[in-house]
Amino acid sequence: MSDERTSTARRVDAVAVGLSAIADHGAIVAAVVLADTVMRRRSLWRAAELLALVGIPVVAVNAAIKRLVGRQRPDHAAEPGSPVLRRPSSSSFPSGHTLAVTTAAVALPSSPVGQVAGLVGAGAVGWSRLRVGAHHPGDVVGGVLIGSLLGWALRTPAQAMVRRSGASR
């Protein structure tokens, strides 16, 4: 029974590590924007503009808050055998992975279904950051709250950019 539990825990850890990896440096957001660009036959230039519109504020806000707060990472993030991909060197608060994906989930989707899918994805990324031991629960909650506020602030210009790119086909 303990072997089965250990095997299940390893599989769950592998999923968490994978989610954290694809969310690192906004890779999952870039992939989704690129897929949407190809499916809707929009220009790659417009996709780059959209990523910059969301990405630059995410990086700036995340870096500023991390520097201001300076919270230590959880102790277990450094334990041997921990499923962390790499030892993060930045402050723990907020979870930048969660902040970035939540911002994109609020700002970018054009439909309610897209927003729900994005927010479910953001929740999964937040869970993964806790599972791999990179953050305290409050770091992930902070990432969701800050990402939601930033996403709402960027939603109008992002949607206007998407409408312009649809009109220029």
Would you state the pLDDT for residue 125? 95
Following DSSP, what letter does each residue of 66-86 receive, concatenated? HHHH-PPPPGGGGSTT---SS
Confidence of residue 162 (pLDDT cuts 50, 70, 90): confident
The pTM is what?
0.86
Q: What is the SS3 assignment for 23?
A: helix
Q: Residue 110 and residue 74: Cα distance in Å, rounded?
A: 37
Q: Give Dmax over CA atoms of the chain in angstroms.
A: 60
CA distances from 156 to 106, 110, 120, 150, 167 (A): 10, 11, 21, 11, 16
**Taking phi first (over 0 means left), then psi (-120 to 50 degrees means alpha), and beta for anything else, what does residue 136 get?**
beta
Element housing 3 (H / E)? helix 2-23
- pLDDT at residue number 169: 44
Q: Is the pLDDT of residue 144 over 70?
A: yes
- Mean pLDDT within 11-15: 89
The per-residue pLDDT for range 65-116, each reduced to its tens digit, is 999 998 998 876 555 555 656 667 888 999 999 999 999 999 988 888 888 9
pLDDT at residue 37, as a whole number = 79
The model's pLDDT over 18-52, given as tens digits with 9 standing for 90+, comes to: 898 888 888 888 888 887 778 777 788 888 888 99
pLDDT given at position 83:
62
Going from the C-alpha of 131 to that of each of 10, 127, 136, the distances in angstroms are 11, 6, 10
Q: Give residue 77's pLDDT.
A: 53
Give the model's pLDDT for residue 4.
61
The pLDDT value given to residue 7:
82
